[in-house]
Amino acid sequence: MLTREIIRQKALEYGADLVGFGDIAHFAGAAPQRDPLQILPSAKTVLGFAFRQPRAL
């Protein structure tokens, strides 16, 4: 079973700088184009990943 800790560990391993988890209930009443349940109706959690972007190369 995938746990938050396993997901966090793998995301950081693959280069994510931040990993976050949010309750799907926060999207209640959102416009359809912003509602994750429109894509995956059985979702319970939203995952967020952040990656640093260099200012210059």
Task: Find the domain containing 26 and state its range.
Answer: 4-50
Beta strands (DSSP E) in 1-57 are: 18-23, 45-50
Q: What is the number of structural domains in the chain?
A: 1
pLDDT band (50, 70, 90) for residue 47:
very high
**Per-residue pLDDT tens digits for 2-26:** 999 999 999 999 999 999 999 999 9
Work out the average pLDDT over 38-57: 93
| CA–CA dist 8, 10 (Å, integer) | 6
**Helices (DSSP H) in the chain: which residue ranges?**
4-13
Determine phi and psi for 32, rounding to 5 degrees: -55, -35
Residue 35 lies in a domain: yes
Residue 57 lies in a domain: no
Q: Is the pLDDT of residue 57 over 80?
A: no
pLDDT recorded at residue 50 = 98
